[in-house]
Every structure is written in C-alpha cells, then in structure tokens.
Chains A and B, each alone.
Chain A
C-alpha cells in the first residue's frame, strides 16, 4: 500500500506578479469543443541531488505523457525553451515562456532521501504571469514515484480545466493470450496508462468482466472455476476472493456494485432464461428485479443509486431500458437502428455509454439518459464494453480484430469522439473497468 502526504507550499516564490491586463485566469473550457490543444511547457523537474536525478526525469516525462495523452494539451519541446529552470524557487521568466507560446508552465522539484521521495510543483498561467492555485508537495516512498507524477498531473489538469481528473486511477481488465479458440484469460489490474500490471488470477479458468467497487477496494468478476460461470468478489489489496452465494446449480454473471458498495445487481440464469437480481452483500440475500422470458443483462446503476439501466431483448432485439433500482416498470430508451448492449451510466449522471451493433459493425456510443442525442464515438469490426474515467470525460473499451489471428486490445476515446488511442498492455486486453481516483 502506497500512502502519500500532501502539503501546501507556503512562503515560496510568492512574488508580486507582473500586472497584465487579463480577462481571467487560464481556463480550458472542455464543453466548448476543444479543437486546438493547449500548449504547455514542463521543464525537467529540478533534482536536489544525484539520487533524485532519474526520478526527476521520469516524473517529468509521466506528467507530460498524462497531459498530452488527453488530446487536450500539447507539449512544447524542450529544444524550444529559452529559459532554463535550474532552481525551483527562482522567479519564472514569463517573457521567455510567452515567446515560445506556452500558455501553461509546470515547474517542479524532486527530493530523495533514502527511500523517501518528495515532489513539489507549481502551475503557472504564463500570459497573466500568475500561479494557478498554490504550490503543492507530495511525499511518499520512491516506489510510489509514478503515482506522485499522476497526482501532479491531476492537479495540473483540474486547475486548467476546472474539472475532476483521472490520472491517479487504476483499471481492472482481463489479460488475454493465445488464439481465439484457446484463449487464456487472467484477471489483471494496472495504472490507467497501462503501467504496473499485476495479475490477480492464473489462467486455469475463464474469467470475465471485472467491475470495481466505488472506492476501488474490491472487484466483482465472473469465473468458470467451478465449471459454471459464477460471481466472485476479490479484495484487491489482499488478492483474496470469495464466491458470492447466488443460487446453487445456476449460472450468474454480469455483476456490478451499487454506488454505496453495499449491494450488487447481476444476471442469473434459470432454466435457460436470464433475469436481473440484486444481492445485499452483508446478508447474502438476493431479490429478483425482472421476471420476463427475455434476456435481461448488463445492468448499471445511476450514480445516485435510484435507477438501473440494462439490456433486454424483450422487444425482439437487444435494446436499452431504465427501471427503478428496486425493479418495476422499465422504460425503453434506445430507438436507433441496430442492437444496443452493455449500457454504463456516466459518473456525472448525464450520459449513458453503450455498445451498438449495426450493419455488421460495432460502435461505442453515448446518449442522454432519455435516449436523446445519441452519438457514436467509434466504429470497427468489434468494439464493446465501455467503462468511464472517474471524471466522465474518457471511455475505455475492448476492440477485437477480425479473423483467426484476431486479438483483443484496450482502447480509450474522449467523449467528443476524438483522441482514440490504444492502451498498451503486455498481452491482449479486454473488459476494462476504470476505478476511482485514488487517495
């Protein structure tokens, strides 16, 4: 377990800022439709000694990669720099950064003492010559250097966009190897950017679709270790799993936590028919939520826990429906052409991401919760299984390629539909579940 101490930097570099006429602080308004990424400079963080040099370099590169990876920011190459930043506390030469069109500047310093690592940083609005927010310091162990870099990036992102961030977060997924007819699957967890992959199961049984708890401490997943698909809950830190007591002799799958983490909603198959059930985790008691001869699966709670969006073929083809969290009458929300599946409610509550299959292609899309304003973000032979970043800005999903050599890869895309990119994992990857921002 890696823990950090965060402290405000006081009494440093609080110089009278040059007075520029300005209309307001630097702000990237994400909902205005970002076409041109915001140019920023992040000179190498200043190491306080030889032991800190590599960490300073690596942390700076992770911060730059986090920011450019959003597609919202563009890094200005160090080759263009006029000023050198050789001391964290020296006054910033704003004119030198303006001259190369940097709108934001991130400066930092790294101190290493034994296995203790301290990172300090400041974010500057170059054109107004003012600091954006206060300098901060993160202190922890050297093994946590990547997370400290992500924490710096989270601060930079939030200060410039005014929104929550997602860099210090983890993704659970299924690591895949081997051909399609003999695929080996292992449950795995990694940083959001694909670093620090850890395997949580071996490949002796098929595992499917991990789902993070709201606080990130547990994972629900489906495994065939008994020969039948059944739901397990896994303590992430201890890597200890428990079978959930669904009903004997039945298949259960597609679980998801409620927003308070105390219950789950899942699919149970009885007599060939799939319905939705809810289980209270403390008592182990399950309650039926749907009772139709149709397939009901892929449930996901609204962030306030009052409703569930799910997939059903009660109309003849798979479509999306919303019902009260305790069951009851469901309202269909998908009405476009094609088949809809795997709906996931966004953390902001305003959108539902889904998989759509139409005319031999698969898409990841989003719609409002009443089904209006459907937008398709991707298109390929097989895209499926969206998961939201903690701030509701980015969607990660599975893309599987065609044919005998087909391979599953994780991808991410901005909800604007821009910035589609693969997430690098050691083997193939599928079924991502994006966890919360870490503390």
Chain B
C-alpha cells in the first residue's frame, strides 16, 4: 500500500522531470530494472487515461506478493480490477505479465514461482472479462530484481507480477 503509493508518486515526479528534459521515453527510466524486462517503457501522458503511461502509473502496472506466495492480496485484486477495466476499454492492447521472485530461493524454484505469480494475475484478469488470448506470461524468476538491496524492504518489491502493454496503437 505505502510501497505502491511511493512508486506511483515517484513515477509521476520523474515523469514530470523527464518532460522538461525532453526525455523521449517520457518516463526517465522510471521503475525499470533492466533490458526492458520490468515494463520500462510506457508511452503517452500519465494524465491521458487511454495511455500506457496512465496504466502504468495511475492504475498501477504491478502487484506484490508475500514470501513464497502466489495468492493475490485484496490490494493486488484492486489493482488488477483497474487493469482489467483499462484493458476492456482499450481493446487494441495486449499484455505480457512478467512474474518475478526475490533472491531468497534457488534459481529453478524462483523461475517456477514467478510463473505461478504471473499466472495468478492473468487468471484474475481473465475472470474480470479480459480475453485470455490478449494475455501472455513470462517468468524471470530472480533474474531481474527491481531493487537490489538484500533486506525485506527490497525483497517485497521484487516479489511482483508486472503487466506490460504492447499493442498496434502503442506510441
């Protein structure tokens, strides 16, 4: 709750800063770990409800999980509800849901766990009416942490499923 609030606020700030710097990504590298594996790029203006930037920052593109868990918290369900509504209103977009784990755990187990998390988010979106063929999943296990300290504060942000939009109208 606090965590997510901070991310969004920080995102809005960097987005504003980026505008003045004429950063072509419009997001100043907000919230992305590396190599486009964390929903790095979201085009449009965060104030335009039809833009991916709005989806990423205002609705929230990610949900977080407890240690070893892939069940959706009430808060995660609220975020996914918003994602579902957006996807239903913007049918030209498809999404890849990236599942991630923190570094506590073996590489293999975390890859499987990330897949469970991504699938839990996907199933929820489908239950809210989004067509399954618009939603693919990929697991990065512990390969792409977004926070790199080794404390629970960072770990909690790394245990995530991120919905990354792509679509013919992107851009």
The segment from A50-58, A142-150, A377-385 found at the interface with B is A377-385
For A311, give its contact among B109, B122, B123, B145 (CB under 8 Å): B109
Contact A271 B119 (CB under 8 A): yes
Contact A357 B145 (CB under 8 A): no
How does the 8 Å CB contact mask read for B94-124 relative to A, with 1 for contact and 0 for none?
0000000001111111011101101110110
How does the 8 Å CB contact mask read for B126-151 relative to A, with 1 for contact and 0 for none?
00000000001111100111111110
Chain B contact patch, size range: 35 or more
Closest to B121 in A: A272
For B107, give its contact among A179, A273, A385 (CB under 8 Å): A385
Contact B111 A357 (CB under 8 A): no
Contact A274 B115 (CB under 8 A): yes
Contact B148 A180 (CB under 8 A): yes
Is B9 close to A, CB under 8 A?
Answer: no
Q: Which residues of A contact B107 (CB under 8 A)?
A: 208-209, 384-385, 431
Is A267 close to B, CB under 8 A?
Answer: yes
Is B35 close to A, CB under 8 A?
Answer: yes
A224 CB to closest chain B CB, in angstroms?
8
Chain A contact patch, size range: 35 or more
Is B82 close to A, CB under 8 A?
Answer: no
Is B44 close to A, CB under 8 A?
Answer: no
For A251, give its contact among B68, B106, B139 (CB under 8 Å): B139
Q: How far is the CA of A97 from the CA of B108 in the complex (A)?
A: 52
Is A254 close to B, CB under 8 A?
Answer: yes
Chain A interface residues toward B at CB < 8 A = 179-183, 206, 208-209, 227-229, 249, 251, 253-254, 267, 269, 271-274, 295, 297-298, 311, 313, 317-318, 339, 341-342, 355, 357, 381-382, 384-385, 400, 402-404, 406, 431
A-B contact pairs, 26 of them (CB 8 A): A180-B148, A182-B33, A182-B35, A183-B34, A209-B108, A227-B138, A229-B138, A251-B138, A254-B108, A267-B112, A269-B112, A273-B119, A295-B116, A297-B111, A297-B112, A298-B106, A298-B109, A311-B109, A313-B109, A341-B105, A382-B104, A384-B106, A384-B107, A385-B106, A400-B103, A404-B148
